[in-house]
Structure 1
Amino acid sequence: MIATCPIREGASRRPDAEALAFAGRSWTYRALDVEIGRWVAALQARGITAGDRVALLSANHPACVFLFFALGRLGAVLAPLNARLTKAELAPLVEDVAPRLRLALSSLADHLPGAEPLETWADAVKTPAPTCEPLAESTARVVLFTSGTTGRPKGAVLTEGNFRASARCSEANLGTHPAPRWLGTLPLFHVGGLAMLTRCAYDGGCLLLHDRFDPEAVNRAIDTEGATHASFVATTLERVLDTRRDLPLPESFRLALIGGGPVPAPLLARARAARLLALQTYGLTEACSQVTTERPTEADGRTAGPALPGLEVRIVGPEGALLGAGREGDIELRGPTVMAGYLHRPEATREAFRDGWLRTRDVGMLDERGRLTVLSRRTDLIVRGGENLYPMEIETVLAAHPAVQEVAVVGVADARWGEVPVAFMVLRAGHAMPGDLDGWCRHSLAGFKVPARFLSLDALPRNAMGKVERTVLRSSIVSLSGGGGDP
């Protein structure tokens, strides 16, 4: 199947419909088509062609939208980088991407050496280019980095077909809407943010883009700007309800997708009392966002729902044997939303698949109705406010401290963030607990990865094989209510 830019299609079919809004400005499909054309011309002037990769470091900004669709019209690939990472964390990702061009918001430029300013990059171009190459479903559109529990982050390559299928499968579950208006508070360097952007474009809707999550701005968009859909994690959902003091939402708001882990039952009850239909979901970067989602007419908050129409999910044992309802095992999936593979990582790509099924390495079970319960978001993974944290990355930084002999990082339940990382350390002989551990971590890690607590032990608990028993460490702390500070 061959497709063309959905913004060009929208400019032809509904030119005056609103396509994008940001900070008091808005663009119709016609105006957005022209703006994207200017960016196409600017990219062509720099020699960007099909297959080239462009690295982007930015918070949410309209220029990110212009760039994404402009690259699509050329068959080029966007590599959006997490704007919360440090310069040291970004360096190996950029090396993997080997971009022809680097762009960054001016405030982030020092984190991406060689980057040109995103905000003004195409200002000198006045005449839009008409170029709009047709795209095969297999055409790569983005490289999004995602980490396993070990090793260097891997760049998942998502295609035009992946994004179109994700939008199609989601609409089949949620129902059609004549003009959806999605609240764009998720960052466009995450798969969830890009899925919202593309979903709006394919469905003829409007993305209400925000540069960051602000509960007051979210509620204004819901109450006065006609927002119909949103995506939250449990912490942001709670902040929205707190800010509006549980005032019922207008009927124009249809529903919110909730990711980043299970939502506490009392919070779901609160949302429903405020007439906010919150649907729990399970997804991952390698599957272009959603995999399972509760059905709007059957949502009870007990599971992450069944597979989206058009996708398949199964539970298997360690050797790949299919497990029945109620049996715990590895979550695997297949369907048109599954990535093409990992950039420059053929061995990792092969390991990610089993007989055509994507091996998520998450653990869960299906009930008799095919609804998924996720039991573990990958071995040892910590999910903090929707952000995935990997213990080994944090442990590597702490282990380099001169006072630390051994360290193990685990996730502990937290009332505000869902989970926060806690570091258990064995100190070297003659050393007291260092007072600079927080600053030591922040030098190399983004703030949301810094442990909420640093605890000293005489020895780390280990099993007969010599592996650290993280469950023992985790059970030593019941909860860090309200801890963790700002990410």
Structure 2
Amino acid sequence: MDLVSLFEFAVERYPQYEALVQGETRLTYEQMNRVIDKTASGLQTLGIKQGDRILLVLKNRLEMVILYWAIQKIGAIFTPINFRLSPDEINYCVQDADAKAVIYEPVSKKTVLEAIKGIKTLKISVQAAQGADICYEELQEIGSGKPAIPRIHDDDVCLMLYTSGTTGCPKGVPRTHKNEYSAAVAHIIQNRYEVQERTLGVMPLYHTMGMRSLLSMAFLNGKLVMIPDYSAQAVLDQLEKEKITCLYLVPTIFHDILNHPEFEKYNLSSLKKLGYAGAAMTKALTEKIFKKLKPDIFINHYGSSEVYTVSVCNYLDKKPGCAGKPGFHQRIRVVVPDPDGNSTPDDVVPSGVPGEIIVDLRTSEAFQGYWNRPDATKKAIRDGWYFTGDMGMIDEEGDLFVLGRVDDMIISGGENIHPLEVEDVIAKHPKVAEVAVVGLPDPRWGEVVTAFVVPKDPALTVEELDIYCKESNRLSNFKRPKQYVLVSAIPKSPVGKILRRKLKAEYEKLYLKKESVS
């Protein structure tokens, strides 16, 4: 089943249901479909054909949703990237994808135009951004109003997401109609969504979480409320105004809205179904969500761009932070970790022992390899399994806990130490707001465990932290940080993941105070 057919079924089913909202603009399914058809026809008039990659450098706005469905209707490949990327990063993605067109807006205009200087590609602007060959509004006027929809197959690529470039150049992840259909169905079932749910379009559409919200709402004739400019205030306003029923967010946004000074003033009684992904959530935040939002359903999703669902946990009240059991399309294992890529699917570790999480590729949610990167594909896909690069541990009840990245492992004095186990201890200190742990080079130990800490209380001292770690019965002495660095902020990706490599690289830049302990 291709995505275009499913969308058109939804339009026919409930044409008058509200589909898309942004500010004062409200579109029903029927109205949205008319705009989509005009946009799709305009793209075809410009010569964009089935299989062409269209690179979008936009915020989460209404136009991006229209363009998504227009690109699907003509069989092209929606290729969104982070609008905050540098010119060099955008240039790499444009050339790697061999993009037929690049679509940008005022916030990304300068970097995009610098990035594509000398590259022959169509330039399409949104929100009257300068320097384009044609603007979004003109696009809707130049075609016939109805696109010629090509024959689309399940295995045709419809989306390409670029993974984070923290380990080098970003990798393109091509996803087919079958992949995206299966991931959306999994999302609907695992979140127990129903017809006419209402959610926020706040998670980036260049990220798999944003795509899940977009597709699941469309298939269920739900309403997607876009927030181009994120703030906790804007989220709370829309939650109340639009009577939002479900959310799928990173922990950072849940943290922001729950800690907003006016949180208690809002009526969020419609909000019943919550899910999070993208980063670990602390036990304290999990408990706060149960207490303040009182969800009927609260689920942790563990997945990736390559394979949407890996596992889900819907009993976070009993096991905060748990990633749970494999999704219903999935089979997983935890194997001996090897950053060089030499472990096999048979190198399974016992329960309670950390290892690398791998996923059986016989799932309709899984990709089949990276775009133009046979080297990365060979390392990630072995003997029919996808090696995630994530560390995990399966407990005696068969539940998965995600521990971080394999290549985040710290080797100090020959001992393997994972940052998350140290962070979990330090995060519980009442004067700590945030913490990130990395290994820094040391001539004696190879690496030393180093904790970067954002104080909640300015009176926090390094000595106090070290005594706290020494007295913790959860942290072996060899895992105790040998260095503590008090900082004003921890660098994170747009979805809230700690950027440990950036933290290492910018150590001097972030440095406010450093003291070593023995």
Contact 1:184 1:209 in 2 (8 A): yes
CA separation of 1:418/1:7 partners in 2, compared to 1, >3 Å: closer, same or farther? farther
1-side partners of 2:204 and 2:265: how far apart?
27
Match of 1:362 in 2: 390
Gaps of 5+ in 2: 117-122, 129-134, 337-342, 411-418, 453-480, 494-518
Q: 1:161 matched to which residue of 2? A: 178
**1:300-449 superposed matches below 5 A:** 300-317=319-336, 318-320=343-345, 321-334=347-360, 335-380=363-408
**Larger relative CO (CA 8 A, sep 6+): 1 or 2?**
1
Contact 1:142 1:159 in 2 (8 A): yes
Could you tell me which residue of structure 1 aligns to residue 152 of structure 2?
135
User: 1:52 offset after TM fit, Å?
Assistant: 0.6
Aligned residue number for residue 515 of structure 2: none
C-alpha separation between the residues in 1 aligned to 2:163 and 2:491?
Answer: 25
Match of 1:253 in 2: 271
> Equivalent of 2:251, from 215, 222, 234?
234
Q: Does 1:199 align with 2:216?
A: yes
Deviation at 1:353, TM superposition (A): 1.0
- Aligned equivalent of 1:118, options 88, 107, 126: 126
TM superposition shift of 1:268: 1.4
Offset at residue 49 of structure 1 (A): 0.8
SS in 1 for 2:408: coil
Shift in CA distance, 3/24, structure 1 to aligned 2, threshold 3 Å: closer
Indicate conservation of the 8 Å contact 1:5/1:132, yes or no. Answer: no
Give the distance between the partners of 1:152 and 1:463, measured in 2 at CA.
32
Q: What does the per-residue CA deviation read over 1:25-68, in whole Å, with 9 as the maximum and x for residues that have no partner?
A: 11111011111101111110111111111111111111111111
Distance 1:483 1:106, change over 3 A: closer
Q: Secondary structure at the match of 1:333?
A: strand
Structure 1 residue runs of 5 or longer lacking an equivalent are 383-409, 425-459
Q: Secondary structure at the match of 1:323?
A: coil
Which amino acid letter does the alignment assign opposite residue 377 of structure 1? Answer: R
Instruction: Kindly report the root-mean-square deviation, in angstroms, between the aligned alpha carbons of the 2 structures.
Output: 3.0
Equivalent position of 2:413 in the other structure: none
**Which residue matches 1:287?**
307
Deviation at 1:195, TM superposition (A): 1.8
Q: Helix, strand or coil for the counterpart of 1:231? A: strand
1:249–1:274 CA contact under 8 A, matched in 2: no
Change (3 A) 1:11 1:319: closer
Change (3 A) 1:339 1:376: same
Where 1:274 maps in the other structure, the secondary structure is helix
Query: 1:107 aligns to what?
Result: 107
Aligned to 1:272: 290
Deviations 1:143-197 (A, max 9, x none): 2111466332211111211111111112222213121112111111222112211
Q: Compared with structure 1, are the counterparts of its residues 186 and 162 closer, same or farther at alpha carbon in structure 2 (3 Å cutoff)?
A: same
How far does residue 368 in structure 1 lie from its aligned partner after superposition? 3.6
Over 3 Å counting, the alpha-carbon distance change for 1:296 and 1:175 in structure 2 is farther
Alpha-carbon distance between aligned partners in 1 of 2:230 and 2:43, rounded to the nearest angstrom: 31
Contact 2:448–2:482 (Cα < 8 Å) also in 1? no
Q: 1:371 to 1:267 in 2, by over 3 A?
A: same
Task: Call closer, same or farther: CA 1:193–1:302 in 2, change over 3 Å.
Answer: closer
Does the C-alpha gap of structure 1 residues 70 and 131 become closer, same or farther in structure 2, counting only changes over 3 Å?
same
Q: Please show how residues 24-103 of structure 1 align to structure 2 within 5 Å.
A: 24-103=24-103
Q: Which of 199, 213, 221 is 2:230 aligned to?
A: 213
Aligned amino acid, residue 461 of structure 1 = D
3-state SS of the aligned residue for 1:260? coil
1:189 to 1:299, Cα distance in 2 relative to 1, 3 A: farther
Is contact 1:248–1:276 with CA below 8 Å preserved after alignment?
A: no
Aligned AA for 1:136? H
Taking structure 1 as reference, are residues 162 and 479 closer, same or farther at Cα in structure 2, changes over 3 Å only?
farther
Q: Which residue of 2 aligns with 1:225?
A: 242
SS at match of 2:248: strand
- Counterpart AA for 1:272: F
Deviates more, 1:230-239 or 1:49-58: 230-239
How many corresponding residue pairs?
421
Q: Following the alignment from structure 1 to structure 2, what is the Cα–Cα distance between the partners of residues 312 and 379?
A: 23
Q: Is the 8 A contact 1:249 1:275 kept in 2?
A: no
Is 1:461 aligned to 2:439, yes or no? no
SS of alignment partner, residue 169 of structure 1: helix
Report how far residue 132 of structure 1 moved.
3.3
Find the aligned partners of 2:451 and 2:136 in 1 and give their Cα distance: 52
Distance 2:369 2:492 in 1: 34
**TM-score, scaled to structure 1:** 0.78
Name the aligned partner's letter for residue 223 of structure 2: C
Letter of the structure 2 residue corresponding to residue 153 of structure 1: P
Inter-partner Cα distance in structure 2 for 1:3 and 1:284: 20
Residue in structure 2 matched with residue 170 of structure 1 by the alignment: 187
Moved more, 247-256 or 259-268: 247-256
Question: Conserved in 1, the CA contact under 8 Å of 2:451 and 2:483?
Answer: yes
Q: Distance in 2 between matches of 1:70 and 1:215?
A: 31
TM-score normalised according to structure 2 size: 0.74
Q: Is the 2:435–2:451 contact (alpha carbons within 8 Å) kept by the matching residues of 1?
A: no
Change (3 A) 1:33 1:372: same
Deviations 1:228-277 (A, max 9, x none): 11122222212111224456864421222222322221221111111343
Deviates more, 1:221-230 or 1:295-304: 295-304
Deviation of the 1:204 alpha carbon: 2.0
- More off after superposition, 373-382 vs 16-25: 373-382
SS at match of 1:471: strand
| 1:344 CA drift (Å) | 1.1
Query: Aligned partners of 1:207 and 1:339: how far apart in 2?
Result: 26
Matches of 2:49 and 2:13 in 1, distance apart?
Answer: 28
The one-letter code matched in structure 2 to 1:316 is V
Cα separation, partners in 2 of 1:209 and 1:248, compared to 1, 3 Å: closer
Indicate the larger mover: 31-40 or 315-324. Answer: 315-324
> Is the 2:55–2:94 Cα contact (8 Å) retained in structure 1?
yes
1:486 and 1:167 map into 2 onto residues whose CA distance is 27
Offset, 1:129: 1.2
Aligned-partner residue type, residue 295 of structure 1: N
Equivalence map 1:180-199=2 (5 Å): 180-199=197-216
